[in-house]
Amino acid sequence: MSLNSKLDLRLEAAKFVIQLPGTTIENFHERAYRVELYLTGDAELPEQDSSLDELKKLVQEVKDA
């Protein structure tokens, strides 16, 4: 499990929550949010993983050089 962005984190939280006994449509969002907060802790994550964009930019710079 690699959590490089908030999007990855939310997906993992949703996967955990749907497996919990007692999870319903009504309480899904609250439970997922609580798991998300727990997993995040003090970490600061970007909304999306931008490492692919950075790699593309680097390859383009090398190509242009």
> What tens digit of pLDDT does each residue of 43-64 get?
787 676 666 667 777 788 788 8
CA distances from 56 to 2, 6, 25, 61 (A): 21, 22, 40, 9
Q: pLDDT at position 17, please?
A: 97
| pTM > 0.85 | no
Q: Give the CA-trace dihedral at 55, 61, 44, 27, to 10 degrees.
A: -50
Determine the Cα–Cα distance for residues 6 and 9; give it in Å rounded to an integer: 5
Task: Give the containing element (helix H, strand E) for 29.
Answer: helix 28-40
Q: In this predicted model, which residue has the larger pLDDT, 38 or 2? A: 38
pLDDT at 35: 93
